[in-house]
Structure 1
Amino acid sequence: MWNKIAIFIIKNRLRLMLVLAVLTAFMGYHARNVEMSYDFANVVSPDDPDMQYFSRFKQTFGEDGNVLVVGMQDKSIYQLEKFKQLQELTQQVSKVEGVKGVIALPSLVQVVKDTAERKFTTQNIFAPFPQTQPRLDSLLQVVENQNFYNGQIINQKTGATLLAITVDPAYLNSARRVEVMDNIAALTEQFTKDTKIQLHYAGLPYVRAVMTTKVASEMKLFLVLALLVTAVTLFIFFRSFYAVLIPMLVISVVVVWVMGTISLFGYKISLLTGLIPSIIVVIGIPNTTYLLARYHFDYRRHGNKVLALTRVISKIGLVNLVNNATTAIGFIVFTFTHIAILYEFGVVAGINIFVTFIISMILVPALFSYLPPPTERQLRHLDAKPLNKLLEFFDFIVHRKRPLVYFFLTLILGLSFWGIYKVKTVSYMVDDLPEESSVNADLAFFEQHFNGVMPLEIIVDTGNKQGVMRLPNLRKLAELEGFLHTQPILSAPISVAGLVKTATQAFYEGDPSSYRLPDNTERNFIFSYLAKQNDGANQKLLRAFVDSTGQSARISLKVADVGSRQLDTLINKRIKPQLREIYGGEGVTVADEGNTMRFTRDDSGAETTVNLTGTTLLFIKGNQYLINNLRSSLLLAFVLVTFVIALLFKSVRVVVISLIPNMIPLIIAGGLMGLFNIPLKPSTALIFSIALGIAIDDSIHFLAKYRSELHANGFNVSKAITSSLIEAGTSMIYTSLILFFGFVIFAFSEFGGTKALGILMSVSLLIALFTNLIILPTLLMSFDSGKYIHEPDALIEGYEEYYDEDSDAELDLAQLRLKLDQEEQEPENGKVQRV
């Protein structure tokens, strides 16, 4: 079959290239429309109870992750001139398109009692704006007396203050977000220039904007670096301009297909899909490397370019196809996770790995058929004397030092398993950004002065309509608030209890000592004032923390980005026990269901439900969900790769022997993670199935050659291994080094996850090279008798002449009429060669 495919490609090469050109132009046209992803992808299943509850929460109370905070700590801001500039900044930012509102020190309001109307109203503390420093100081004292704002807008101990900028969700998850962020940044930078006050930025809108910008810039950078690194490596190996230009052309075409695929499928460029073009460059080059090495090898044997190019297709086609299939498996398994970002990553990468195979199988032979044959200088790499010396050393180790190989292997695996035992699973909201990033520095500022900015929500469902405003329920809310206020990684909580305390303070003419819940005597008076809040800021604020039925109350918090482990400890070891103490007790049955706790009174059946939710919890849970799915993906990849090898060789012994050398690099990579304190997170869990799919290619390449050499050497295992090492080892080293240098460029990423992926992938693939050149032949020497049973159903059976040069007669090259200068020449053996 592959002989017919080879003749078809060579004979119709011009037509095939034209078809590829048209299809590539079509993909390029659609690639123009590819868009960036501007939101944190939801990786938790829509059927997950916590995800469903969070969706209901947003319908009731709105987004919790659409606030950008701009903070400062400078005593001069409380001087009249600079305070006026802060007021101007607040007003200017509030007018930016896409900004719903700004809460800042100059715009703060206080609740006052309207005795005539018997209701509460609000008034701006700084209206009219003070004209003297003493007046400003007195108004700042009024702010200090408003306990509600302490820890929210101002830290009275450190003097830090912030602007809380609410971004319209319609802008938040679209390309318009960048424009909004840029417009805000222009105003804040001008403020810094005018006042010399340093500003700090945080909040999910800012983090997402920064990450989106970096993803776009790194995608371009890594694509250029991948092309450059592979081009230099190819030139060093082949010493030929064309051996660099044509693979680069092939890969460039595939990159266009990648971008076109993303656009056609309606996907967007995310942190994962943004890596695909660079990854395709790296893993696509081995396709052309095998083809070029085979072309040069054949041409030097008989000097017939057409025959060499045809044999390239017929004899490399199956191995390249199987190699691409196993590589694609490492990506395709992600489509079984039902997680959008992984599904898209797997679909785009899997499809384009096969596209790479097809394009390289057409373009490489076709384009070289129009070029002069390789010169002696360009064929010199086939001798590869330094590499041959290395391979001869490996052969010596395999034949003479097998006990030593097993000893060091046992030692390394033991150390690796110890490292795996130390691996920790931990995730952070801004996990991918480097420690020295300005985002992390600014985040540290807010954690120091406001205990964090990452959203966390607690919803208390009283079980009764208007139950929130009942004094016993308010007291429980206040007790819970008091506890939360003591937690060092949580910001000051905001809830309806705080609003009622503020109302009590207003009822007593703003006396700071009256910031408390009313007692039974005061309740009727104060609540009668609150009952008349039909409009205005008070009513809007109240509706932000109590649902329309008055049954559920919201406690809104901000948490430091301390990671999933500390957050889990906070919730399960501190908050939940406190909830049991407040809402539980004698005669109350408690049901703990993940992030939901139900408290049912045995005597009446009345139920109070407390839910913990918010973007932070869902993000952390999503990462854990992602890691669990990636573990399943690795198992699935292992099963599929096993199936491919079994189909190829139809031998249980070969399957086992081939898998062992490729599991060792994964075990070592896991051990390195534990030894060097690299946590298990989505980015690091991702590499295992990908590495398995790529690394197994060397095993298939070696075993195909080994099976052929068994025939050629009378089923003598020792001789077959020596020949296989020398002849297959060179191309294995070439491709592995290209993969190593290609993936190592990701180690220079600003994203921690991408950096870890680059380091672990490159190390895993380099280790896989040595395990396939040392461990694999060692296992064959120890456990393969050399006895061979013919399996007609095995794919490799039709491929026994992989390196057999006596099969040229099978290629009816007389079918080919290849013209260059409208002339034909009949070479020896009746085979047609281009002139």
Structure 2
Amino acid sequence: MSKIFSFGFWNTIAGIILRNRTVILVLIACITVFLGTQWKNMRFSFTEANLLPDHHEVNQEYQKFLDRFGEEGNVLLVATNDPTLFTPEKFNAWNQLAEKLDSFPEVEFTIGVGKLKKLQKFDNPPRFELVDLVKEEKLNQQQVSNYKKELFDSLPFYEGLVYSKKSNTVQTAVYIKKDIVNSKQRKIFILEEIDPLLKQFEKDNNLELHVSGMPYIRTLNSQNIVDEIGLFVGGALLVTSLIFFFFFRSFRATLISMFTVIIGVMWSFGFLGLMNYEITVLTAIIPPLIIVIGIPNCIFLINKYQQEIKNHGNQAKSLQRVITKVGNATLMTNVTTASGFATFIITESTLLKEFGVVASVNILAIFVLSLLIIPIIYSYMPRPKEKHLRHLGKTWIEGFVDWIQRTVKHRRITIYICSVILLATSIIGIYQIKVSGSLLEDMPQDAEFFKDIEFFEDEFDGIMPLEILINTNRKKGVLKLSTLKKMQRLEDLLLDAPELSQPVSVVDLVKYSKQAYYNGNPKYYQLPTSQEQNFIFPYLKNLSDGTSDQLNAYVDSTGQYARMTVFMKDVGTEEMERIEANLWPKIHEIFPEDRYEVTMTGKALVFQKGTNYLVQNLVMSLTLAIVLIAIFMAWMFRSFRMILISLVPNLLPLLITAGMMGFLGIPIKPSTILVFSIAFGISVDDTIHFLAKYRQVLKTNNWKIKKSVYPALRETTVSMFYTSIVLFFGFSVFMISSFGGTKALGGLVSATLLFAMLSNLLLLPSLLLSLERNIANKKTLKEPHLQILADGEDLEEENKETDN
């Protein structure tokens, strides 16, 4: 009954499609237009990917910090170490640049060498005020030299903030308004206002500038993502169309396939807009992914149509059989591929969940489009000519098919030995895999802004903000001298870590206050003694420049919470875990847990913690994908024993790829973490095709194993080879990316699918032959629930056989 239902169902589908061709094409056009109108809702991510769920403890700590002190990644840095800067002409131009930057409405304020303020003591009433260090608008050479000497010798408070003594580098810090730092307005401001201004300044003054800071990095990085989407889509279309034409030698077939996948790409963009999802590094690969996965559908459908035409020449009958025979098989392979992506939906990470939803929906959409568009377009066209069918008799592929068959027949022991050696080697490599939570590692390392990142890491010991929040558990507890001394001990502790920069906190302001109290003498840049605090702190409490309380940047309004900012180099997850493990016992020794609450947070730390969380979700999602596909195949073939024989040739390529990552030093990170679920969902398609064909041949040959394996292998090798080559080169397109993670993703998936093809062509039939008595027999291969029709069988013959 299941077989009759299957044939009847697909016959009905074929009839509906071919009888309602015009209506279906109009419906597809309407859906395409509707999804096209949703493109306006597409938006690109303006923040780093948050891999953690909102309720995660690390996210909650970060949100508490933002609620108390606001956005911490809003500083754009402009620096130079040109020795000619301290000449009147260039120094005055540098100051004018800072004033121009400060004049933009998007800028809250700037701190630069020309706009520095000096803390000065006044006695009536007792107070400190910030006064301009430079009062003249333009300086002569003597004044510039005096200013330089005072800056580098007498103002240690500004070291690490506006200058570095390593190579006399100076920088201007531009604080962008916090309400636009995570919006599209930030991107427009930086790309259309800041970038041209700085380029013109370099040209006019012959000064080399280095620009960085999280707003700048994030803006240029997101722009690279935008640029690469077009590159990926164009590259995928070009590569797959060339391969398709090489196989079919038909412009008509190639153009029909390209038209189909282009509609699929338009739908994928439309779905992103319709669901109001942000385009991130992950979702950006979905449109080209649809091309790569859609082309094999086109290959199966067009190849079957041309075979039918060659066999009997009846176009209507050929189109019906294309839908009836190939539709069922293509549905199953697309469902398993979509399942590999859909497993990400169960994760609690919003980023992965959105990726899983959009990818799985669009994979099923490209199946529907292929099944509808290709038969309908061919129904309006004349029957293919003989030149369009010549590729069906190719002899060059026969050599590969013969080699596969000979190897399985005569070298099964060699296949097993090679498999075991690869497995053992891969396990060794797996133990060498590292986890990377680097926020910058995947960014294009040849880009100018990445070279600037390295410059700032060398000069200022990092640009990634790490925030330490100290809760004294009592109001105004921060300005207690005992608390300040503890914070000084913590700063000294952080300075001992070479990966971290000099910390910035209220301690520096208090030390500067003492220096100011003693008329600016730099030797008094230190915390006051218990006696000195009695007459210095009254000045400190009234510290104001007339517009805002200077303590607000470091201490909350209640005086209970203190903020300590330290910048860290771009270290990976393992290195950061080592730093944390070393710091926390000493932090708790300085700040006893029964009296103080100390937390570490910041974007970089959240990203690193998210990477660890992602690894755990990878194991869960991959396990679920394997279980779901195994259950699906067991149900399909009505044999749980078939799970073993179907999974082994698909798990081995995954282990080989993991071993390669270990040996090549490719870490587990948000981009490469997708390799396994993607590759497994796609590679299992070959297994389904082969086992379905094998079961059919087995039944025809009265369950004689050896007589069935080789014909099934010969019939499926060509289609496996074609689709694997398309997928291999299709995913290789991602290797042109400037993002290291995307490049690694493309290379690893391509390699995995190549291994999977060989594994399914060599190891799978070998296992069938070796385990024929226990697994691959009539008892275990019962009548399946779902049918994949043999290419050479007529539907009428299948129905007749079923009736008998």
TM-score, normalised to structure 2, is 0.95
Equivalent residue in structure 2 for 1:471, among 465, 481, 487: 481
The corresponding residue for 1:140 is 148
Residue aligned with 1:232, SS: helix
SS of the residue corresponding to residue 201 of structure 1 reads: strand
1:106 corresponds to which residue?
114
- Report if aligned partners of 2:554, 2:562 keep a CA contact under 8 Å in 1: yes
The equivalent residue for 2:763 is 775
Pairwise CA distance, 1:97: 3.4
Q: What stretches of structure 1 move > 6 A for 4+ residues in a row?
A: 790-793, 809-812
Gaps of 5+ in 2: 1-8
| Superposed CA offset, 1:352-393 (max 9, x none) | 111111111111111111112222222222223221221111
Query: What per-residue deviation string (whole Å, max 9, x for no partner) do you get for residues 13-60 of structure 1?
Result: 221111111111111122244222211122212112221111111111
Per-residue deviation, 1:255: 0.9
Residue identity in the other structure for 2:712: S
Query: Which among 300, 303, 327 is matched to residue 290 of structure 1?
Result: 300
Instruction: Give the aligned partner of residue 260 of structure 2.
Output: 250
Any residues of structure 2 matched to 1:27-106 within 5 Å, and which? 27-106=35-114
SS of 1:567 mapped into structure 2: helix
Deviation per CA, 1:479-524, whole angstroms, max 9, x where unpaired? 2122323332222211111111111111111011111111122111
**Distance across 2 between alignment mates of 1:154 and 1:534:** 24
2:181 is the alignment partner of 1:193: no
Where do residues 603-622 of structure 1 align in structure 2 (5 Å cutoff)?
607-622=595-610
| Cα separation, 2, equivalents of 1:723 and 1:293 | 19
| Superposition deviation, residue 196 in structure 1 | 1.4
Establish whether residue 750 from structure 1 lines up as the match of residue 738 from structure 2.
yes
Q: Partner of 1:788 in structure 2?
A: 778
Partner AA of 2:620 in structure 1: S
Is 1:179 the equivalent of 2:188? Answer: yes
**Residue among 421, 430, 449 paired with 1:439:** 449
The residue identity in structure 2 corresponding to 1:498 is D
3-state SS of paired residue (1:805)? coil
Counterparts of 1:481 and 1:410 in 2: how far apart (Å)? 54
1:643 aligns with 2:631: yes
In the TM superposition, residue 223 of structure 1 has moved relative to its aligned partner by 0.3
Q: Distance in 1 between matches of 2:124 and 2:88?
A: 35
1:149 pairs with 2:158? yes
CA gap of 1:720–1:147, structure 2 versus 1, over 3 A, is: same
Alignment partner of 1:422: what SS?
coil
Contact 1:427–1:681 (CA under 8 A) maintained in structure 2: yes
- Residues 313-361 of structure 1: CA deviation (Å, up to 9, x unaligned): 1111111111000000111111111212211111111111111111111
> What per-residue deviation string (whole Å, max 9, x for no partner) do you get for residues 247-286 of structure 1?
1111111111111111111112111111100000001111
Match of 1:572? 581
Aligned counterpart in structure 2 of residue 672 of structure 1, from 654, 657, 660? 660
Aligned residues: 788
Cα separation, 1, equivalents of 2:291 and 2:214:
33
1-side partners of 2:780 and 2:599: how far apart?
64
Asked if the contact 2:638/2:780 (under 8 Å) is kept, the reply is: no
Residue in structure 2 matched with residue 663 of structure 1 by the alignment: 651
Task: Give the drift of 1:131.
Answer: 3.0
Partner Cα distance (1:769, 1:180) in 2: 49
Contact 2:72–2:465 under 8 Å retained in 1: yes
Between stretches 326-335 and 95-104, larger displacement belongs to 95-104
Measure how far apart 1:530 and its partner are.
1.9
| Aligned 1:191-340 pairs, distance under 5 A | 191-340=201-350
| Superposition RMSD in Å | 1.7
State the one-letter code of the partner of 1:627. V
Once the two structures are aligned, what percentage of the paired residues are identical? 38
Distance 1:13 1:790 in 2: 42
1:247–1:364: 8 Å Cα contact kept in structure 2?
Answer: yes
Deviations 1:624-679 (A, max 9, x none): 21222122111111111112111211112322111111111101100100111111
* Aligned-residue offset at 1:552: 1.4
Q: Which residue pairs with 1:706 in the alignment?
A: 694
Displacement after TM superposition at 1:224 (Å): 0.7
2:474 is aligned with 1:458 = no
Q: What is the distance in 2 between the residues matched to 1:634 and 1:540? A: 53
Residue type matched to 1:170 in 2?
D
Runs of 5+ in structure 1 lacking a partner?
585-598, 601-606, 813-835
Structure 1 residue 424 and structure 2 residue 434: aligned? yes
**Residue number in structure 1 paired with 2:565:** 556
| 1:725 alignment partner in structure 2 | 713
Please point out which of 533, 547, 550 is paired with 1:541: 550
Between the aligned partners of 1:513 and 1:32, the Cα distance in structure 2 is 60
- Hey, what does 2:3 align to over in structure 1? none
Amino acid at match of 1:496: V
Aligned equivalents of 2:544, 2:451: Cα separation in 1:
43
Alignment check: 8 A CA contact 2:41 2:276 kept: no
* Partner residue, 2:177: 168
Q: Which residue of 2 is the match for residue 822 of structure 1?
A: none
Q: Secondary structure at the match of 1:435?
A: coil
Quick check: 2:705–2:777 contact (8 Å CA) kept in 1? no
2:174 partner letter? I
Inter-partner Cα distance in structure 1 for 2:663 and 2:693: 37
In 2, Cα distance between equivalents of 1:274 and 1:185: 25
Distance 1:388 1:201, change over 3 A: same
Match of 2:371 among 361, 365, 384: 361
Amino acid at match of 2:674: L
Match of 1:741 in 2: 729
SS in 2 for 1:553: strand
Query: Is 1:460–1:609's contact at 8 Å kept on the other side of the alignment?
Result: yes
Residues in 2 aligned to 1:707 and 1:768: alpha-carbon distance in whole angstroms = 21
Q: Deviations over 1:669-727 (max 9, x none)?
A: 00100111111111111110110000000110111111111122222222212111221
Q: How big is each residue's C-alpha offset from its partner over 1:596-626, in whole Å with a ceiling of 9 and x where there is no partner?
A: xxx22xxxxxx11111111111111112212
Q: Is the 8 A contact 1:3 1:811 kept in 2?
A: no
Distance in 2, matches of 1:552 and 1:790, equals 68
Output the CA distance in 2 between the equivalents of 1:645 and 1:97.
61
- Three-state SS of the structure 2 residue aligned to 1:315 is helix
AA paired with 1:54? Y
Q: CA deviation at 1:207?
A: 1.2
Structure-2 change in CA distance of 1:291 and 1:447 (3 Å): same
Assess, with a 3 A threshold, how the Cα gap between structure 1 residues 659 and 384 changes in structure 2: closer, same or farther: farther
Secondary structure of 1:112 counterpart? strand
Distance in structure 1 (CA, Å) of the matches to 2:496 and 2:427: 41
Contact 2:53–2:350 (Cα < 8 Å) also in 1: no
1:401 is aligned to 2:389: no
What displacement does 1:122 show? Answer: 0.8
Query: Which of 26, 30, 52 does residue 34 from structure 2 map onto?
Result: 26
Distance in 1, matches of 2:325 and 2:404, equals: 27
CA–CA separation in structure 1 for the residues paired with 2:70 and 2:580: 23
1:520 to 517, 525, 530: 530
Summarize deviations over 1:283-303 as a string: whole Å, max 9, x none.
111111111111112221111
